[in-house]
Amino acid sequence: MLVAQITDCHVRCDDGPFSSLADTATTLAAVVEHLNGLDPGPDVVLATGDLTDDGTPEQYACFREIVEPLTAPLLPFPGNHDHGPDFREAFADMLPGDPGDLPERHCSYVVDDHPVRLVGIDTSKPDHHDGCFDDERADWLEGTLASAPDRPTLIFTHFPPLQVGLDYMDVAGLTGLDRFEDVIAAHPQVALVVAGHLHRPIQAVIASTLVSVCPSTGFQLDLDLNPTRGGAVDEPPGFQLHRWDGGRFVTHTGMVRDGRRIDITAFVEYVLGRAERGEDFPKG
């Protein structure tokens, strides 16, 4: 199974504070085109929040127009820049199950149609840029995981459930980190947790499970661990591919850019041929 992830698209219908770095509609369209060109292609695409900049119906319409060409099914998910009621209305036909199946106070859901169970836990707070993993969300996630303890599971969310050293993002990030880790530790079937929000590729472990943070399809945050500084940079739009091989996930980070490419198919054929014949790989 191949799970693609996009995040922090920040689609606008007009100029915004980061327009000088990236036209987020154009960069998202480039990522969509790239994902459609993959062979093998993804079985599903997770869009893990901040799909738009302001969460307006107009911006959601722009986002949907850009991602409409995707050949793989898209699972939309809210972030702190999204607006809960408008998000639910904009994606009512794409969210799994009936609208009444979703929790009233958070847009969390489960998809059971794949070899790996996909569990989305919404930790965004209305009218806030920070997130929370409170008792209500912990109970929902605990109950959801306990209902299928033997199924390999990928959890997706917007806020990474850990601190990463970008202090200005950490202090306005997710509360309830210990509670989140306790739930994960109690459910070893969770093979991977994926998130967004930080506009950088970042990996860490909580309990015994890898957490992978996906870069933005728009612009990235500067890798500056000085607690008094912060910046945004025009690094290329990114995405991640999470490949399930039946026993574990392997995560790849991809960037979409214009650049030179050298075709090494002949070398690939040489390597595969030697392997098929049982030969080793001498130098020279």
Q: Write down the domain spans for the chain.
A: 2-276
Structure tokens at 217: 């399809």
Q: Express each pLDDT in 94-137 by its tens digit.
A: 999 887 789 999 999 999 999 999 999 999 999 999 999 999 99
- Beta-strand ranges (E) seen in the chain are 2-6, 44-48, 74-77, 109-111, 117-120, 131-132, 153-156, 174-175, 190-195, 202-206, 209-213, 220-221, 232-233, 238-244, 249-255
**Residues pairing with 5 in the sheet:** 46, 240
Q: Hey, what CATH topology would domain 2-276 get?
A: Purple Acid Phosphatase; chain A, domain 2 (3.60.21)
Contacts of 130 (CB under 8 A, 6+ apart): 80, 172, 173, 174, 175
Q: State how far the Cα of 161 lies from the Cα of 164, in Å rounded to an integer.
A: 10
Each residue of 230-263: pLDDT tens digit? 999 999 999 999 999 999 999 999 999 887 889 9
Cα(215)–Cα(255) distance, rounded to whole angstroms? 9
